[in-house]
């Protein structure tokens, strides 16, 4: 179980850190980018939940590695399908840690989309 949990963490972490450009303080994120980020974020969360479920059922390290690769590719596709690069997605994710205005905009958009059933 520890291995599966660690594997799930690795899948998430590799897209939050791998090769991403460092976010600069105060870097403006357009409303369109916020919209794209939120859609990508919600899709990534669905993919990670599915991955964790499958990883919990995996019977070997090799199977977990296949799942990690498969779902990692799906995460990349989910981000890129929203006209974001993985670097842009990761940069915005890091900005959310320190930019309260951006965090509020993203949170509001998530709430709005959930209320609209998206």
What pLDDT is recorded for position 3? 55
Task: Residue 95: name the closest of 19, 14, 20 by CA.
Answer: 20
Q: What is the pLDDT of residues 12-44, one digit of tens each?
A: 555 554 434 444 444 689 999 999 999 999 999
Q: Please give the residue that has the higher pLDDT: either 35 or 116.
A: 35
What pLDDT is recorded for position 15? 54
- Structure tokens, 54: 């499958």
What distance in Å separates the CA atoms of residue 4 and residue 55, rounded to the nearest whole number?
6
Give DSSP secondary structure letters for 87-108: HHHHHHHHHHHH-HHHHHHHHH
Tell me which residue has tokens 């994710």. Answer: 93
Q: What is the pLDDT of residues 57-87, one digit of tens each?
A: 999 999 999 999 999 999 999 999 999 999 9
Q: Please give the residue that has the higher pLDDT: either 17 or 53.
A: 53
What pLDDT is recorded for position 117? 79
What pLDDT is recorded for position 22? 40
């Amino acid at each position: 179980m520890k291995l599966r949990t660690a594997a799930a963490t690795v899948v998430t972490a590799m897209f939050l850190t791998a090769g991403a450009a460092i976010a600069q303080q105060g870097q403006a994120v357009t409303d369109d980018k916020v919209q794209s980020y939120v859609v990508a974020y919600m899709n990534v969360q669905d993919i990670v939940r599915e991955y964790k479920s499958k990883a919990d059922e995996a019977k070997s390290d090799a199977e977990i590695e296949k799942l990690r690769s498969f779902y990692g590719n799906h995460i990349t596709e989910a981000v890129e399908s929203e006209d974001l690069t993985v670097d842009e997605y990761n940069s915005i994710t890091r900005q959310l840690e320190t930019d309260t205005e951006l965090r509020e905009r993203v949170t509001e958009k998530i709430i709005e989309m959930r209320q609209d059933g998206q």
